[in-house]
Amino acid sequence: MHISELFECAKEFDIIHNHFDFLPLTYSRLVSTPLLTTIHGISSDSILPVYHKYRELPYVSISLASRHAKLNYVRNIYHGIDPQAYSFSDRPDNYLLFLGRICAEKGVYEAIELARRVGRPLRIAGIIQDPVYFREKVEPSLDGERVRFLGPVGGKCKQDLLSGAFASVHLCDCEEAFGLSIVESLACGTPVIATRRGAVPEILDDRCGLVVGSLDEAESQFNNVAGIVRRTCRQMVEERFTSTRMAKEYLDVYYELVDSGTSRTEASTHD
């Protein structure tokens, strides 16, 4: 209903910016208003035929690693945040932090194992997406002291957790399209230990964290975290990942599309 309502009054707008995945694409040839789509990730290969059918439309990727062949990407625009909304701290506690969904692909067990190997407490925060994984791989390690599960967090609690952590752990077993929690951690001055997969190498480097190939490498390189200047982590966000920068880049794309007078090629080019 939301999509149909929008397209029924499409003439009222100069441009439509779609963050709603593949469904709005199917309306695009029924209106003259330019449609720009940010692809936040492909949830399943089964939806790729929809993107391929409408591959002439302008798309924005949120990382180069997340791009798919044969689509018409007009820009790569990284996500941005307001750094002022995140509390910086250069006097962290000694704990490690996992912040994210509790499921196998996010590497919660690996974070627990890294904390055990390097002798650091671990705080785990996030929603339990996979109850079986939580029960079998996470819950047995919870002792309320060395390894604590805090559940979903937000607001000041989230701020305090991020800024107080010695480092945050992001040992994902998936190709992340971006990794907003990495940027949030850096904004608080907290270095990140992350797996070299997906967009991670585009976001993180050795100035503000460890980009590793395995749990073993994370363990062997862990002592390097102490040499990272937390102010540098914050500066990385202020230079590359602000919401102001993101908005300006999107505005540039909007003006280009409106000036071109179209968001798609002529119907004669359609398959």
pLDDT of residue 260: 85
Same domain as 221, residue 113: yes
pLDDT of residue 265: 41
Per-residue confidence at 230, pLDDT binned at 50, 70, 90? very high
Q: Is the confidence at residue 227, as pLDDT, over 90?
A: yes
Same domain as 156, residue 227: yes
Three-class DSSP category at 17: strand
Same domain as 63, residue 131: no
- Cα distances from 117 to residues 80, 112, 137, 173, 223, in angstroms, run 34, 9, 16, 19, 12
Same domain as 88, residue 70: no
Number of compact structural domains in the chain: 2
Same domain as 67, residue 181: no
Same domain as 115, residue 71: no
pLDDT of residue 47: 93
> What is the span of the domain harbouring residue 59?
2-80+244-269
- Taking the C-alpha atoms of residue 219 and residue 55, their distance in angstroms, rounded to an integer, is 43
What are the tokens at 58? Answer: 């302008």
Same domain as 211, residue 126: yes
Same domain as 259, residue 229: no
Same domain as 96, residue 13: no
Contact between residue 36 and residue 60 where contact means Cβ atoms under 8 Å apart: yes
Same domain as 154, residue 33: no
Q: Is the confidence at residue 169, as pLDDT, over 90?
A: yes
Same domain as 90, residue 72: no
What are the tokens at 240? Answer: 């590359």
What are the tokens at 206? Answer: 């050795």
Q: Is the confidence at residue 16, as pLDDT, over 90?
A: yes
How many C-beta atoms lie closer than 10 Å to residue 180's C-beta? 17
How many residues can be counted in the chain?
271
- The mean pLDDT of 230-240, rounded to a whole number, is 98
Query: What residue ranges in 128-206 does DSSP mark as E strands?
Result: 147-151, 167-170, 192-195
Contact between residue 123 and residue 227 where contact means Cβ atoms under 8 Å apart: no
72-93 residue pLDDT tens? 999 999 999 999 999 999 999 9
Q: Is the confidence at residue 155, as pLDDT, over 60?
A: yes
- Taking the C-alpha atoms of residue 176 and residue 41, their distance in angstroms, rounded to an integer, is 8
Q: CATH code at 160? A: 3.40.50.2000
Order of strands, sheet of 35-39, starting from the edge strand that comes earlier in the sequence: 16-18, 35-39, 59-61, 73-76
Per-residue confidence at 263, pLDDT binned at 50, 70, 90? very low
In one-letter notation, the amino acid at residue 85 is A
**What's the N-to-C CA distance of the chain in angstroms?**
28
Q: What backbone torsions phi and psi does residue 88 show, to the nearest 5 degrees?
A: -85, 140
Contact between residue 50 and residue 70 where contact means Cβ atoms under 8 Å apart: no
- Taking the C-alpha atoms of residue 158 and residue 164, their distance in angstroms, rounded to an integer, is 10
How far, in whole angstroms, is CA 154 from its chain's centroid?
A: 17
Same domain as 68, residue 160: no
Average pLDDT, the chain: 94
- Taking the C-alpha atoms of residue 40 and residue 43, their distance in angstroms, rounded to an integer, is 9
110-136 residue pLDDT tens? 999 999 999 999 999 999 999 999 999
**Helices within 9-53 (DSSP H only):** 48-53
